[in-house]
């Protein structure tokens, strides 16, 4: 037996409420099954989006216990075990305006997808110039991002989007990266520049997008790589500026300003995780000077573990090429 | 007639934004746009294009590219896969066009996977994880072109990008019905899910690309948006349907998520086990065992389940991966399919082979109406389909339909105005009737009963007694339909109303599918009747056409050089 608490929103009466349902669950049942059961048998007015049950189409993103997931890919028993509670909170995705019950308005996501021109704009070839060949390596890289199903979970989890709605979000940045990878494309400069305008350097590399991604897209890698391209080609002045200022602060004060408490602090300290990586004594930071991600105490701890995990994750995957970084820091 | 605002008049409307809908729109746009005028077309879809069901395809596109391959082989493979029910003249055209279609996509910028010689790589079997180059499809030559292990999705995203580039208008609306004037389709009545507005749109030509019927079955690889909408609205408007008794089943999909675990896994050594831990495939296919063709595997698993030999007597069996000889390469697959595990698998409804009867140009029997993709039945696939022909046929039909529409709308005799009477009010009242029904029947119950009936009696195995029982039950559900009441009275995102409208389409099609299944008293391809487990060519080497007045007619197929031969699976 699971107690499903669903946050409801009625757009016509503007009423917000939480409805509670007791549902018998079996081993293989998913959150989507539960929602469908409620809609079909108990309350037809419960509104949510769903498509295929295999999680391929990404329409069924919701928050389960405040964590963005795909309803069809989330096992109820597992959630109950993980959180050691029969109670499951279900709500709409964060960082999107709520339209009705669990449906959010994803038009911002679709519009920004259209705005990055997600199609090949072929390079104008000079005489005797040959079109660049696509290597297998590139096909695999592109194919990895093609796995993205635009579910928007990464945007929902993004801490920068929470405070800065001019930031375009990890999903779309990853999609821009895909276009940049294509060697036949002639718009590298425009694409990087528009990415910079869309907030390429605003990302704080918390990698919560990677954590929630159901398809292992790794948007934060896409962002890092685009930053390297930006710095290498000197398309914008953001890169060196941010890295230098953060590095300077670190050298002088032995610490770096806090994150995410307000807009301006975000803008000033976006490159901190890179600095953490570049400084070996990241361990020393751990106790004294934690980055303060969240206002709430409980979330603070969660933020800390996330941060620690991410440091490890980054080390393992070697997302930032150390050599490149040293060059930049000089 | 009341004069309509200009923006409600279109040269062509395309209903559905999956691969076939987008491709048709792109082709139409390119052909209709001149220096002065932009093509006056729009795509109407009930979900965002990137949520279309095309994403589930993991196979790819068949094409004859290799000089060692031969069109004749391809034709033979297609016709044999369809258990000889294919129209051979259409298969000829399709196979001849295959190369062009792949080349057209590549020219537009789609990145196909390349082989060592930097030519488009072709494999014998679609599927996940670049697993294997062994042949399980029964095709005579490896000819599936692919972009990755999710080719359908790649093509969908790619074509959506191409549509964005062309600035093609895409409207997110639910189409409630087609509008006809003097037996010609002249537009559609739409319902805006976001606002509850009902509006008619006028078009000279209309293309249906609304996909299949997956939601009618309890287990389906399809997205739940596949609710037979287009098929039934065409039928209501006066178009013929064809071969609706043929529904294919994927043999091994994970329980619950219905994710396809393709034959590649079995080819690499994974084995099927029942409750008694037996490799039960030895009973059904002594020679090929777990590498038997999909049709046989699906029947075998269903037979085990029906005889209570499923695991824990439930409706699934194990697919044991621990015996696999190859390691999985794709990380994403690894995440979903842990290595060395026993997966719980069962057959799921896959591709719907019947649909709106169309000719080679995608024209339906209703003037001004075209159908392409899974909702259409051109007679190419026959009773089953060849792996890799699904997308090919969809793209081919879209191309043909868009060419044909050019001629159609250029001839002014073909252009008809909207009827004088407007249906908008009729629909408003119809929708309201459900909302006013406070103590009405539960639609959820009817929907689940429909799924149970279809899965139980109109699935992999059918027999006359079950079918007749199912027909009776479906008809009683249909008679309860008008008593349905819905709780949601809101105009904003009333998904409950949409569920009810979709249910209506599914119930009506279920009726027709069962009637057709009863008439086709033989076993052919995906249609298996227990009483007659053999093909009966003399009587049934024919298409079964359903006319708008529900009369059934057996029509000769177009036979060519390839004569029906005994099937050995």
- Joined tokens for residue B455: 């899965």
Residue linked to tokens 């001629």 = B407
Whether A21 and A36 have beta carbons less than 8 Å apart is answered as no
Residue of A nearest to B344 (CA): A28
For the CA atoms of B171, B174, B177, B178, the dihedral, rounded to the nearest 10 degrees, stands at: 20
| pLDDT reported for residue B337 | 65
Specify which residues B14 forms β-bridges with.
Answer: B43, B207
- Joined tokens for residue A66: 């405040």
- Helices and strands, counts by H and E, chain A: 16, 7
Residue of B nearest to A54 (CA): B257
Instruction: Look at residue B272 and tell me whether its pLDDT is greater than 50.
Output: yes
d(CA B455, CA A321): 54
Q: Residue window 386-425, chain B: list those with CB within 8 Å of chain A.
A: none
d(CA B205, CA B414): 9
Range A281-297 average pLDDT? 36
Instruction: Look at residue B34 and tell me whether its pLDDT is greater than 90.
Output: no
CB contact under 8 A, B56 and A99: no
Four-residue CA torsion sign, B394, B377, A53, B53: positive
Instruction: Look at residue A68 and tell me whether its pLDDT is greater than 80.
Output: yes
Instruction: Grade residue A291 by pLDDT with cuts at 50, 70 and 90.
Output: very low
Choose the mutation target among A8, A11, A26, A40 for the interface with B, i.e. most B CBs under 10 Å: A40
Residue linked to tokens 């009827």 = B419
Whether B41 and B14 have beta carbons less than 8 Å apart is answered as yes
Instruction: Look at residue B134 and tell me whether its pLDDT is greater than 90.
Output: no
Q: Give the relative orientation of helices A188-197 and A219-233 as an angle to the nearest 10 degrees.
A: 110
CB contact under 8 A, A99 and B335: no
d(CA B429, CA B478): 20
| pLDDT reported for residue A69 | 94
CB contact under 8 A, A122 and B109: yes
d(CA A179, CA A185): 7
- Joined tokens for residue B62: 């068949």
Whether B550 and B536 have beta carbons less than 8 Å apart is answered as no
Whether B290 and B272 have beta carbons less than 8 Å apart is answered as yes
Percent of the residues in chain B that have a pLDDT greater than 70, as a whole number: 93
| pLDDT reported for residue B299 | 93
Range B427-447 average pLDDT? 89
| pLDDT reported for residue B496 | 93
Cβ-proximal residues to B384 (8 Å cutoff; 6+ apart), any chain = B81, B82, B83, B246, B248, B295, B353, B525, B526
Choose the mutation target among A19, A54, A191 for the interface with B, i.e. most B CBs under 10 Å: A54
d(CA B247, CA B270): 26
For the CA atoms of B32, B33, B38, B43, the dihedral, rounded to the nearest 10 degrees, stands at: 50
Coil, strand or helix: which one is A89?
strand
HSE on the CB side for A186, CA within 13 Å?
Answer: 8
Instruction: List CB contacts (< 8 A) between A120 and chain B.
Output: 109, 161
Range B491-499 average pLDDT? 93
Q: Tell me the average pLDDT of chain B.
A: 89
> Residue B352 CA to chain centroid, in angstroms?
5
| pLDDT reported for residue A271 | 40
Alpha carbon of A197: minimum distance to chain B alpha carbons (Å):
21
Instruction: List CB contacts (< 8 A) between B47 and chain A.
Output: 51, 59
Give the number of residues written for chain A.
Answer: 330
Whether B499 and B358 have beta carbons less than 8 Å apart is answered as no
d(CA B187, CA B357): 19
pLDDT tens-digit map of B160-197: 999 999 999 999 999 999 999 989 999 999 999 999 99
Residue of A nearest to B147 (CA): A143
Whether B52 and B45 have beta carbons less than 8 Å apart is answered as yes
Coil, strand or helix: which one is B100?
helix
Of A73, A110, A134, the CB nearest to B111: A134
Coil, strand or helix: which one is B321?
coil
* Closest to B494 (Cα-Cα) out of B179, B217, B176, B171: B176
| pLDDT reported for residue B138 | 56
pLDDT tens-digit map of A21-35: 999 998 889 999 999
Specify which residues B201 forms β-bridges with.
Answer: B188
* Closest to A293 (Cα-Cα) out of A306, A277, A311: A306
Coil, strand or helix: which one is B153?
helix
Q: Residue window 338-367, chain B: list those with CB within 8 Å of chain A.
A: 344
A113: left (phi over 0), alpha (psi -120 to 50) or beta: alpha
Specify which residues B355 forms β-bridges with.
Answer: B242
Q: Could you tell me what percentage of chain A is helix, strand and coil, using 3-state DSSP and rounding each to the nearest 5?
A: 50, 10, 40
HSE on the CB side for A27, CA within 13 Å?
Answer: 3
Coil, strand or helix: which one is B484?
strand
Whether B526 and B295 have beta carbons less than 8 Å apart is answered as yes
Instruction: Look at residue B249 and tell me whether its pLDDT is greater than 70.
Output: yes
Instruction: Look at residue B7 and tell me whether its pLDDT is greater than 80.
Output: no
Instruction: List CB contacts (< 8 A) between A118 and chain B.
Output: 157, 160-161, 164
Specify which residues A4 forms β-bridges with.
Answer: A21, A88
- Joined tokens for residue B395: 């793209």
Cβ-proximal residues to A35 (8 Å cutoff; 6+ apart), any chain = A6, A46, A48, A50, A71, A90, A102
> Residue B73 CA to chain centroid, in angstroms?
25
CB contact under 8 A, A40 and B444: yes
pLDDT tens-digit map of A126-175: 888 888 888 888 888 888 898 899 999 999 988 888 888 789 999 999 99
HSE on the CB side for B29, CA within 13 Å?
Answer: 21
d(CA A193, CA A187): 10
Specify which residues B370 forms β-bridges with.
Answer: B207, B363
Residue linked to tokens 């928050």 = A63
Q: Tell me the average pLDDT of chain A.
A: 76
CB contact under 8 A, B47 and A51: yes
Specify which residues B45 forms β-bridges with.
Answer: B172
d(CA A70, CA A30): 10
Q: What distance, in Å, lies between the first and last C-alpha atoms of chain B? A: 60
- Of B456 and A54, more confident: B456
ipTM, 2 dp? 0.92
Whether A202 and A227 have beta carbons less than 8 Å apart is answered as no
CB contact under 8 A, B344 and A28: yes
Whether B285 and B569 have beta carbons less than 8 Å apart is answered as yes
Task: Report CA-CA distances (Å) from B512 to A40, B216, B374, B462, B518.
Answer: 25, 13, 17, 15, 10
d(CA A27, CA B26): 46
pTM for this model (two decimals)? 0.89
Cβ contacts from A onto B, under 8 A: 148
pLDDT tens-digit map of B523-553: 999 999 999 989 999 999 999 999 999 999 9
Helices (H), chain A: 31-37, 76-82, 107-115, 136-146, 153-157, 159-163, 170-181, 188-197, 208-212, 219-233, 238-253, 263-268, 272-278, 282-288, 297-317, 322-329
| pLDDT reported for residue A301 | 35
Instruction: Grade residue A299 by pLDDT with cuts at 50, 70 and 90.
Output: very low
Of A41, A56, A110, the CB nearest to B444: A41
Q: What angle do CA B546, B460, B244 make, to 5 degrees?
A: 15
* Closest to B10 (Cα-Cα) out of B165, B135, B186: B186
């Amino acid at each position: 037996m699971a107690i499903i608490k669903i946050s409801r929103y009625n757009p016509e009466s503007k009423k917000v409420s939480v409805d509670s349902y007791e549902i018998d669950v079996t081993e293989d049942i998913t959150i989507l099954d539960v929602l469908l059961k409620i809609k079909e048998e108990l309350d037809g007015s419960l509104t949510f989006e769903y498509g295929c049950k295999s999680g391929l189409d990404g329409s069924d993103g919701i928050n389960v216990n405040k964590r963005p997931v795909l309803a069809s890919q989330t096992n109820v028993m597992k959630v109950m075990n993980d959180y050691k509670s029969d109670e499951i909170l279900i709500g709409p995705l964060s960082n999107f305006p709520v339209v009705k019950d669990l449906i959010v308005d994803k038009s911002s996501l679709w519009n920004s997808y259209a705005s990055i021109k997600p199609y090949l704009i072929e390079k104008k070839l000079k005489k005797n110039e040959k079109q660049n060949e696509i290597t297998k390596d590139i096909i695999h890289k592109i194919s990895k991002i093609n796995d993205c199903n635009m579910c928007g979970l990464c945007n929902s989890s993004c801490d920068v989007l929470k405070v800065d709605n001019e930031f375009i979000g990890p999903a779309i940045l990853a999609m821009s990266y895909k276009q940049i990878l294509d060697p036949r494309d002639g718009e590298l400069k425009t694409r990087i520049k528009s990415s910079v305008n869309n907030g390429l350097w605003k990302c704080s590399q918390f990698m919560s997008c990677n954590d929630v991604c159901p398809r292992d897209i790794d948007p934060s890698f896409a962002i890092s790589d685009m930053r390297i391209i930006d710095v290498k080609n000197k398309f914008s002045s953001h890169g060196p500026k941010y890295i230098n200022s953060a590095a300077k602060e670190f050298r002088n004060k032995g610490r770096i300003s806090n994150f995410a408490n307000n807009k301006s602090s975000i803008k000033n300290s976006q490159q901190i995780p890179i600095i953490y990586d570049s400084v070996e004594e990241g361990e020393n930071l751990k106790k004294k000077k934690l980055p303060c991600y969240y206002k709430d105490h409980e979330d603070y701890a969660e933020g800390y573990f996330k941060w620690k995990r991410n440091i490890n994750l980054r080390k393992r995957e070697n997302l930032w090429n150390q050599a490149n970084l040293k060059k930049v820091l000089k | 007639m009341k004069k309509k605002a200009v923006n409600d008049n279109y040269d062509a409307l395309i209903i559905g934004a999956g691969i076939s809908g987008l491709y048709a729109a792109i082709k139409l746009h390119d052909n209709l746009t001149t220096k002065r005028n932009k093509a006056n077309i729009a795509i109407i879809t009930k979900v965002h294009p990137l949520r279309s069901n095309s994403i589930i395809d993991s196979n790819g596109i068949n094409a004859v590219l290799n000089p060692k391959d031969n069109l004749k082989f391809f034709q033979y493979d297609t016709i044999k896969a369809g258990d000889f029910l294919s129209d051979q003249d259409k298969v000829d055209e399709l196979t001849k066009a295959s190369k062009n279609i792949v080349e057209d996509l590549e020219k537009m910028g789609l990145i196909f996977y390349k082989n060592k010689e930097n030519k488009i790589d072709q494999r014998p079997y679609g599927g996940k994880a670049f697993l294997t180059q062994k042949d399980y499809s029964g095709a005579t030559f490896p000819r599936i072109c692919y972009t990755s292990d999710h080719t359908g999705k790649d093509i969908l995203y790619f074509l959506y990008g191409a549509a964005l580039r062309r600035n093609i208008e895409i409207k997110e609306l639910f189409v409630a019905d087609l509008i006809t004037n003097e037996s010609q389709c002249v537009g559609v009545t739409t319902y805006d899910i976001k606002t509850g507005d009902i509006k008619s749109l006028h078009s000279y030509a209309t293309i249906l690309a609304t996909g299949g019927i997956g939601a009618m079955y309890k287990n389906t690889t399809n997205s739940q948006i596949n609710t037979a909408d287009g098929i039934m609205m065409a039928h209501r408007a006066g178009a013929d349907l064809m071969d609706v008794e043929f529904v294919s089943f994927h043999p091994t999909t994970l329980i619950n998520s219905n994710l396809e675990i393709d034959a590649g896994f079995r080819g690499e050594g994974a084995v099927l086990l029942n409750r008694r831990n037996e490799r039960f495939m030895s009973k059904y296919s002594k020679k090929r065992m777990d590498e038997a063709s999909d049709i046989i595997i699906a029947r075998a698993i269903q037979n085990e389940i029906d005889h209570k030999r499923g695991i824990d007597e439930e409706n699934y069996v194990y697919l044991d991966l621990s015996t696999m000889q190859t390691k999985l390469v794709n990380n994403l697959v690894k995440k979903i399919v842990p290595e060395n595990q026993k997966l719980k698998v069962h057959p799921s409804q896959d591709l719907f082979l019947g649909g709106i009867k169309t000719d080679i140009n995608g024209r339906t029997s209703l003037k001004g109406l075209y159908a392409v993709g899974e909702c259409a039945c051109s007679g190419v696939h026959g009773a089953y389909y060849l792996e890799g022909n699904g997308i090919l046929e969809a793209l081919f039909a879209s191309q043909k339909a868009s060419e044909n529409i050019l001629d159609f709308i250029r001839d002014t005799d073909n252009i008809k105005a909207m009827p004088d009477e407007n249906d908008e009010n009729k629909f408003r009242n119809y929708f309201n009737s459900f909302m006013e029904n406070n103590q009405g029947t539960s639609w959820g119950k009817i929907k689940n009963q429909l799924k149970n009936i279809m899965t139980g009696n109109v699935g992999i195995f059918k027999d006359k007694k079950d079918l007749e029982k199912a027909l009776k039950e479906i008809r009683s559900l249909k008679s309860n339909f008008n008593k349905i009441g819905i709780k949601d009275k809101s105009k904003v995102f009333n998904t409950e109303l949409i569920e009810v409208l979709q249910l209506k389409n599914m119930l009506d099609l279920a009726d027709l599918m069962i009637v057709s299944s009863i008439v086709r008293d033989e076993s052919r391809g995906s249609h298996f009747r227990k009483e007659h487990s053999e093909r009966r060519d003399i009587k049934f080497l024919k298409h079964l056409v359903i006319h708008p007045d529900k009369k059934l007619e057996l029509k000769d197929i177009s036979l060519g050089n390839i004569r029906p031969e005994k099937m050995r699976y």
